[in-house]
Structure 1
Amino acid sequence: MDVPCALPPRPGLLSSLLRWSAACAAIPPLLTPALLLGPVSQGASDALMRAWCLWARRVFGVDVEVVDHNAGRYDAAAYVFLQLNQTSLSETFVTPPALPRPALIFMNLGFAVLPFAGWVPLSQGSTVVVRQWHAQARRAVDRATEALRRGASYYMSIEGLRSPDGALGPYKKGAAVLAIRSGATIVPMVFHGARAVLPVGEWRVRPGRVRVELLPALETRGLRYEDRDALLQRLRELAEAHGLGLPPG
């Protein structure tokens, strides 16, 4: 689980460089066309991104288990796939193949400027938010709300930053507001083992196993803006019930 614990040893420098070289070698045939196809075909672009993620997992020796508590039943018009614990950039190549359908990303500016990892979703129409710029953040929520109402799905984290030690950070109300305003169905997601694979601040990816759980879907129809705090609390309790949020030490 992504709680404070001893991390496995880092792989050697040469081994890490070779693995990154192999992962990057697949960018021209996979992510370059994914970037170009983003504005015209989200599905094709997403398929290429998933293919690169699977290649990166293989290169880095990261095995991913997906546990879907919804048994593959995703019949609602729009979903918000909501990550309840964010601990590692390894989630960049772990998450896309784990999602049951293509999804735009509600992402901060720092992620949007990452080469290919941020550029490809941006080309597909994903939404960038600058949380410190309140007027822009409100407009970003408005744009994402309209996209969800048109039937798009989104993936986003409920925390503002990646946790360096595995403990849960403060939950942002924007995720609850976005889901309530659009009437989208929330699929809470919890990650176990992502931090052990690539801790915050490091670049050497450790071989390992990550488990992604898609928790039972939560309907938001009938909820009002005034219900946002109660929804946040419910999501926090879900995360804690799955062993997340333990204090350091």
Structure 2
Amino acid sequence: MKIISTTWYILKLIAFCILGVFFFVLAAFIRLFDLWKAIRIFKSYLHLYFRFFGLKIHFEFEDSSIKTNGNMVFVLLNQSSFLDSLIVPTLPVHKLRGIINIEFALYPVLGWFLALANFVIIRQWSTQAKNTLNRANTFLQKGGNMVISIEGKRSRDGKLNVYKKGPVVMAIKSQSDIVPFIIEGTYQSLPYKSVYTKPAEIKVRVLRTIPTIGLTYEQRDELVDRLRFTAQANSLEW
């Protein structure tokens, strides 16, 4: 039975990758005329992955108005699985782009789609910070939303990594509301270094906004501490 289930899993994975090429070519063509329609094709492809591998994604918003608002920085408080990078682009919010680590951008098909969707790909915050912040600020000021992980890398054991200041600095620069959110269940489905996605119920909890209007760069540490406290209050462990 194990051989059969493993073979079936591999066949589904191969089929998903082949379909990915088709979806990407279609999205790339549509991208010439309408970016957001191309992104919807990308989201459809991701939802196909969820169906293929038995993942049920549930979004819970503490404030439903967040879905339609703009000029917000969505900050993922826990990056515990590769699955997070598949779920984040499907957040049901207005005009979402993101900032991702080069690690994810190198994945075939997924990386292509993220580049096509105008996600900002960075190698190192320290060397690319100014350019990244300027691009994000322009997009936010036009009413768009950005999404980024505050850890900057996946957890190896399900516990939190050290929080970075980049997302907070971005929000302060553009005077955008910070929207912290948590993804539950992905580590149990696909932990670090695993290649087998287990069927699971995944919950994405989008918390209430944290305003940054009037805050300055000097207050960045206070905001990081507040996000850390929010993570602890929601049972995330260091």
Distance in 2, Cα, partners of 1:236 & 1:68: 20
Counterpart of 1:208 (choices 200, 219, 226) is 200
Secondary structure at the counterpart of residue 118 of structure 1: helix
Distance in 1, Cα, partners of 2:186 & 2:169: 27
1:138-168 CA-to-partner distances (Å, cap 9, x unmatched) read 3222222222222221111000210011111
Q: Which AA in structure 1 matches 2:213?
A: R
Counterpart of 2:61 (choices 68, 79, 92) is 68
Distance in 2, Cα, partners of 1:33 & 1:184: 34
- Greater shift, 179-188 or 91-100, is seen at 91-100
Matches within 5 A, 1:72-111: 72-111=65-104
Counterpart of 2:189 (choices 187, 197, 207) is 197
Q: Which AA in structure 2 matches 1:237?
A: F
Query: 1:241 aligns to what?
Result: 233
Under a length normalisation based on structure 1, what TM-score does the superposition of the two structures give? 0.87
Query: 1:55 aligns to what?
Result: 48
Q: Which AA in structure 1 matches 2:97?
A: L
Counterpart of 2:113 (choices 114, 120, 130) is 120
1:101-158 CA-to-partner distances (Å, cap 9, x unmatched) read 23111112222222221222222322122216x3323322222222222222111100
Alpha-carbon contact 1:39-1:124 (below 8 Å) kept: no
Matched, 1:218 2:191: no
**Cα distance, 1:207–1:74 mapped onto 2, change above 3 Å:** closer
Matched, 1:142 2:134: yes
Aligned residues: 236
Q: Which AA in structure 1 matches 2:120?
A: T
Distance in 2, Cα, partners of 1:39 & 1:233: 42
Q: Which runs of 5+ in 1 are unaligned?
A: 1-8
Matched, 1:176 2:168: yes
1:158-197 CA-to-partner distances (Å, cap 9, x unmatched) read 0021001111101110100000001122111101111111
Distance in 2, Cα, partners of 1:31 & 1:172: 32
Q: Which AA in structure 1 matches 2:25?
A: T
Distance in 1, Cα, partners of 2:152 & 2:129: 13
**Cα distance, 1:75–1:211 mapped onto 2, change above 3 Å:** closer
Higher relative contact order at CA 8 Å, sep ≥6: structure 1 or structure 2? 1
1:42 Cα deviation from its structure 2 partner: 2.4
Distance in 2, Cα, partners of 1:39 & 1:215: 35
Distance in 2, Cα, partners of 1:164 & 1:15: 27
Q: Which AA in structure 2 matches 1:176?
A: V
**Cα distance, 1:187–1:238 mapped onto 2, change above 3 Å:** same
1:8-59 CA-to-partner distances (Å, cap 9, x unmatched) read x9x9421320221232243134232223444642211111111111111010
The percentage of counterpart residues that share the same residue type is 28
Q: Which AA in structure 1 matches 2:204?
A: V
Higher percent of residues as helix: 2
**Cα distance, 1:44–1:126 mapped onto 2, change above 3 Å:** same
Distance in 2, Cα, partners of 1:171 & 1:73: 24
Matched, 1:131 2:124: yes
Distance in 2, Cα, partners of 1:18 & 1:223: 52
Distance in 1, Cα, partners of 2:230 & 2:92: 19
Q: Which runs of 5+ in 2 are unaligned?
A: none
